[in-house]
């Protein structure tokens, strides 16, 4: 049996989709010891990653976009990229037909729909499997996806929504998505039959985090970041839906309302954030208590999770919420939202809050920070919860979809 997987997302940087693709492939290769399945990895950029040495690697270059701020240039780059990718996807289809492969898996979809090129290819005798990682734009009002301004992204994602709804609703054999919450969202918004959608959870990284929850982690944080104080932690690449503004407002409320307990505590925010968040912290009088550390390398994230007194992640929407499990795997108590997939992933091992209410978030921060017994319970429960989400299980369920071809 031949399975072709497009692994472009691994080349796009440290994103959750790239992490999913790499961990999926790595574990597929591990469970495919007898080589009964021929795994072919199709991607566009040469990378020194060991998985490409363990499988068949096919290079079909993609158009490398450069960020542009000027509106007409961005539109032009988008059009050129689209034309190039149409040509590239025809090359992928040509290779796929020549190889007579049994399955083609596109694992990086969601807001982007499958490429138009796949409309002209008849997949009846084979299996097109797609992973839809979630479409927050279908679940939230526009201001919580793109902010107050009308952006190019908003236009592009509306086009992608139309492609899903009217062109690709029946053009795949199986759609994989990452939570039952997101499955409901897709069925309701796109009209896709629930019988065609399979829910497969992500795995949890940082299996060895527990051993890092010691003084050594604190020493490294001090050496690398100058952090030698107790802190609450948040991590996200900024999007309005990540709700960072309410986290800062909640921390300001907590500092004022529970000053005796939180006087020496600081809020550390990882990931690239806009300058207006720094201005917000200043306006709230807590600029010295909110530390923006920018991008954190993947190998250093366990240090933050292991030392933090709590991980605060009250997003307005998550299709899965991988950081929740990663924090739990490291023994970090989690505060997250009571909406969409977050209760599904966290179960009863996190403090769930209304993400629209900074006062509730503030109270949850105080509750976790002030109660050592609660922190110990959340740490223990979280570690056990994270163990239930493994990349090996994820890969086995994918392989079942590939081989059996049904849900």
Q: Specify the DSSP class assigned to residue 90.
A: H
Backbone torsion region of residue 13, taken as left when φ is above 0, otherwise alpha when ψ lies between -120 and 50, otherwise beta:
left
> Residue 352: what pLDDT?
98
Work out the average pLDDT over 161-171. Answer: 91
| 123 vs 361: which has the higher pLDDT | 361
Supply the pLDDT for residue 71: 58
Does position 212 have pLDDT exceeding 80, yes or no? no
Superfamily of domain 2-203+390-404: Glycogen Phosphorylase B; (3.40.50.2000)
Q: What is the pLDDT of residues 282-318, one digit of tens each?
A: 999 999 999 999 999 988 999 999 999 999 999 999 9
Q: Which CATH number is 209-387's, of 3.40.50.300, 3.40.50.720, 1.10.10.10, 3.40.50.2000? A: 3.40.50.2000
pLDDT at 23 exceeding the cut of 90? yes
Pull the structure tokens for residue 294: 């920018």
Q: Is the pLDDT of residue 57 over 70?
A: yes
How many Cα atoms occupy the beta-carbon half-sphere of 257 within 13 Å? 17
Contacts of 97 (CB under 8 A, 6+ apart): 121
Domains 2-203+390-404 and 209-387 share a fold: yes
Q: How far apart are CA 116 and CA 82, in angstroms?
A: 9
In this predicted structure, what is the pLDDT of residue 78?
67
Q: Is 185 within 8 Å of 138 (Cβ atoms)?
A: yes
- Please tell me the least confidently modeled range out of 153-162, 312-321, 353-362: 153-162
Question: What is residue 42's predicted lDDT score, i.e. its pLDDT?
Answer: 94
pLDDT reported for residue 211: 47
Rounded to whole angstroms, the Cα distance separating 100 from 125 reads: 10
Measured CA to CA, the distance from residue 43 to residue 40 in angstroms comes to 10
Q: What is the mean pLDDT of residues 132-147?
A: 87
Chain segment 113-130, per-residue pLDDT in tens: 988 888 877 666 568 999
Identify the helix (H) or strand (E) that includes residue 199.
strand 197-199
β-strand partners of 214? none
> Domain residue spans in the chain?
2-203+390-404, 209-387
Strands (E), 271-350: 290-294, 310-313, 334-337
**pLDDT of 100 higher than 90:** no
**In the chain, pLDDT over 90 holds for what percent of residues?**
65
Distance, CA of 173 to CA of 370 (rounded, Å): 51
């Amino acid at each position: 049996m031949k399975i072709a997987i497009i692994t472009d997302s691994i080349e796009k940087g440290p994103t959750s989709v790239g992490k999913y693709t790499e961990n999926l492939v790595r574990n597929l290769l591990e469970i495919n010891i007898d080589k009964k399945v021929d795994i072919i990895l199709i991607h566009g950029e040469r990378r020194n990653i060991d998985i490409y040495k363990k499988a068949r690697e096919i290079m079909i270059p993609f158009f490398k976009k450069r960020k542009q701020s000027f509106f007409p240039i961005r539109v032009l780059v988008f059009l050129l990229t689209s034309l190039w990718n149409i040509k590239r996807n025809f090359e992928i289809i040509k290779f796929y037909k020549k190889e007579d492969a049994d399955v083609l898996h596109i694992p990086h979809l969601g807001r982007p729909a499958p490429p138009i090129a796949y409309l002209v290819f008849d997949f009846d005798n084979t299996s097109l499997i797609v992973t839809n990682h979630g479409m927050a734009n279908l679940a939230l009002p526009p201001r919580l996806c793109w902010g107050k301004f009308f952006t190019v992204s908003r236009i592009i994602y509306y086009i992608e929504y139309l492609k899903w709804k009217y062109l690709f609703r029946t053009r795949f054999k199986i759609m994989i998505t990452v939570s039952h919450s997101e499955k409901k969202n897709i069925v309701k918004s796109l009209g896709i039959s629930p019988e065609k959608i399979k829910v497969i959870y992500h795995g949890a990284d940082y299996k060895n985090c527990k051993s890092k929850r010691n003084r050594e982690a604190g020493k490294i944080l001090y050496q690398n970041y100058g952090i030698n104080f107790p802190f609450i932690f948040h991590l996200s690449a900024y999007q309005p839906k990540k709700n960072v503004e309410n986290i800062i407002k909640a921390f300001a409320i907590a500092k004022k309302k529970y000053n005796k307990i939180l006087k020496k505590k600081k809020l550390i925010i990882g990931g690239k954030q806009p300058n207006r968040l720094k201005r917000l912290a200043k306006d709230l009088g807590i600029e010295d208590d909110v530390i923006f550390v920018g991008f954190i390398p993947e190998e250093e994230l366990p240090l933050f999770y292991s030392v933090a007194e709590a991980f605060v992640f009250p997003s307005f929407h998550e299709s899965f919420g991988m950081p929740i499990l990663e924090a739990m795997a490291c023994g970090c108590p989690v505060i997250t939202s009571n909406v969409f997939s977050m209760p599904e992933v966290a179960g009863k091992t996190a403090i769930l809050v209304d993400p629209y209410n900074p006062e509730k978030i503030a109270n949850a921060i105080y509750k976790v920070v002030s109660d050592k017994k609660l922190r110990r319970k959340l740490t223990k429960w979280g570690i056990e919860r994270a163990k239930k989400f493994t990349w090996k299980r994820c890969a086995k369920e994918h392989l079942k979809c590939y081989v059996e071809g049904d849900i």
